């Protein structure tokens, strides 16, 4: 298909048109959709600053909003910059994909300040980090401004907005790779393409296989963070953000989603460093209490251990967590599931060691008991992944992660 100016109007009960039509023709524009939500600066309604609340009772799975980015780092430009650096520094090349994506996004923002000051530029100048924003304001920005469709209330010479101003906005608000992806993982793929493909084939592979890298979605930035989210975001047709309700949300309740994956290590410190706040949700508070009791094995909660603990040690640890800690009557099922994901890597190490133990165990009774134990544990982990935010894609890779350390080929998935 050739480039056209037509657009897709979103049907809230069926977004398949975006998945298929836009994939066939990436030039088609997607009209934003905003569901039963509003933006509020009322401290009695939102946790802090500005937030988004439900205007009516919302059912689990309901579409809350669907938006394209108002500005993003063009993938082809990022790749060209990255490839130039890689070609000139092949022997001493250090990771720089995130830096390239940020550089391209800043260029695009400054172009918008010059060429689209009342629409695109107005959308990101309404965000935290902008020199125009006073976070003490009691008036939230309008939908039209946040969606890049209308003027900002302030009259300002956008040409005077510096690159440093744009960088502050990006650091506080931009959405980078989500879920299991990371800049490091994507860059490793690109390096593999460079080593194994011709230059033209390499670029084709990058443009075909790589998802979005970095973009600003000002409307979505009105949603505050919680490690116990009631909404989850996903991306369709590469860069269209779709946000659904994870649970039933009563009218007047704040909409919250997680800024990091549920199994992210050092989640709180990352949030503090990147977003400037310390999360105090119930999940984080419960983790603090658990850490006091299990400080001796916190170091095990890491995907790559030099020395994986023995089966008896891991077994005692998992049983302590399952039988002594998670049985606390203070914990709801939701909290229990979140806490399992908080210690995902301990569970993964245990599952891998237990599976290997099955291969060497001769006692049929012990084998049956171990198999039943693993089945129960895997079922609980599956429910935990399904219940946690951003888990729609993560839980699909559990089997690969679980068996990644097994030396027995028959156990690999």
pLDDT tens per residue, range 99-146: 999 999 999 999 999 999 989 999 999 998 888 876 555 688 899 999
pLDDT tens per residue, range 325-349: 888 888 888 888 888 888 888 899 9
Q: What is the DSSP string of 63-89?
A: EEEEE--SEE--HHHHHHHHHHHHHHS
pLDDT tens per residue, range 259-279: 887 777 778 888 887 777 888
pLDDT tens per residue, range 161-182: 999 999 999 988 999 987 667 8
Chain centroid offset of residue 203 CA: 26
pLDDT at 291: 64
Contact 406, 349 (CB under 8 A): no
The b/e string for 31-64 (b: 16+ C-beta within 10 A; e otherwise) is ebbbbbbebbbeeeebeeebbbbbeeebeeebbb
Helix or strand run (H / E) with residue 37: strand 37-40
Return d(Cα 229, Cα 286) in angstroms, integer: 16
Return d(Cα 56, Cα 62) in angstroms, integer: 12
pLDDT at 153: 54
pLDDT at 16: 82
- Say what the pTM is: 0.80
CA separation (Å) from 142 to 40, 85, 147, 222, 330?
10, 41, 9, 11, 41
Q: Is the pLDDT of residue 152 over 60?
A: no
What domains can you pick out in the chain, each with its CATH number?
7-69+217-257 (2.170.270.10), 72-209 (no CATH), 279-411 (no CATH)
Token pair recorded at residue 205: 């592979």
Contact 233, 178 (CB under 8 A): yes
Q: Is the pLDDT of residue 285 over 60?
A: yes
Q: CB neighbours of 18 closer than 8 A, spacing ≥ 6?
A: 8, 10, 30, 66, 236, 237, 240, 242
Q: Look-up: residue for tokens 């089966």? A: 311
Contact 228, 334 (CB under 8 A): yes
Q: Is the pLDDT of residue 11 over 80?
A: yes
Which among 48, 114, 39, 109 has a CA at the least distance from the CA of 74?
A: 109
Q: Over range 282-308, report the average pLDDT.
A: 75
List the beta bridge partners of residue 325: none
Q: Over range 367-384, report the average pLDDT.
A: 87
Q: CB neighbours of 170 closer than 8 A, spacing ≥ 6?
A: 102, 105, 106, 109, 129, 214, 216
With cut-offs at 50, 70 and 90, classify the pLDDT of residue 392: very low
pLDDT at 284: 85
């Amino acid at each position: 298909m050739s480039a056209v100016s037509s657009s897709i109007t979103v049907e809230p009960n069926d977004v398949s048109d975006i998945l298929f039509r836009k994939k066939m023709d990436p030039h088609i524009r997607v009209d934003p959709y905003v569901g039963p939500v509003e933006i509020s600066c009322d401290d009695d309604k939102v946790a802090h600053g500005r937030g988004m609340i439900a205007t009516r009772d919302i059912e689990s799975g309901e579409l809350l909003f669907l938006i394209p980015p108002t500005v993003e780092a063009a993938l082809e430009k990022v790749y060209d910059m990255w490839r130039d650096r890689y070609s000139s520094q092949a022997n001493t090349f250090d990771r720089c994909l995130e830096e390239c994506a940020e550089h391209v996004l800043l260029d695009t923002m400054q172009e918008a300040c010059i060429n689209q000051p009342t629409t695109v530029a107005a959308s990101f100048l309404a965000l935290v980090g902008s020199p125009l924003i006073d976070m003490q304001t009691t008036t939230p920005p309008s939908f039209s401004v946040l969606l890049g469709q209308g003027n900002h209330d302030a009259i300002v010479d956008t040409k005077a907005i510096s690159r440093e101003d744009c960088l502050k906005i990006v650091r506080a608000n931009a959405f980078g790779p989500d879920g299991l992806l990371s800049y490091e993982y994507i860059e490793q793929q690109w390096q593999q393409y460079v080593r194994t493909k011709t230059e033209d084939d390499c670029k084709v592979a990058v443009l075909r296989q790589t998802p979005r890298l970095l973009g600003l979605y000002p409307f979505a930035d009105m949603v505050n963070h919680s490690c116990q989210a009631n909404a989850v975001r996903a991306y369709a047709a590469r860069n269209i953000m779709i946000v659904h309700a994870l649970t039933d949300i009563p009218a007047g309740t704040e909409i919250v989603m997680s800024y990091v994956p549920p199994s992210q290590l050092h989640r709180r410190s990352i949030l503090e460093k990147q977003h400037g706040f310390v999360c105090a949700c119930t999940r984080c508070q419960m983790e603090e209490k658990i850490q006091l009791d299990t400080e001796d094995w916190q170091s095990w909660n890491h995907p790559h251990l030099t020395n994986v603990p023995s089966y008896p040690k891991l077994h005692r640890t998992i049983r302590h967590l399952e039988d002594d800690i998670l049985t606390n009557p203070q914990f709801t099922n939701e909290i229990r599931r979140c806490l399992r994901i908080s210690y995902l890597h301990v569970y993964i190490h245990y599952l891998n060691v237990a599976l290997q133990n099955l291969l060497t165990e001769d006692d049929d009774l012990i084998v049956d008991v171990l198999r039943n134990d693993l089945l129960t544990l895997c079922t609980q982990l599956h429910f935990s992944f399904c219940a946690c935010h951003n888990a729609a894609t993560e839980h699909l890779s559990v089997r690969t992660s679980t068996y990644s350390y097994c030396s027995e080929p028959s156990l690999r998935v």
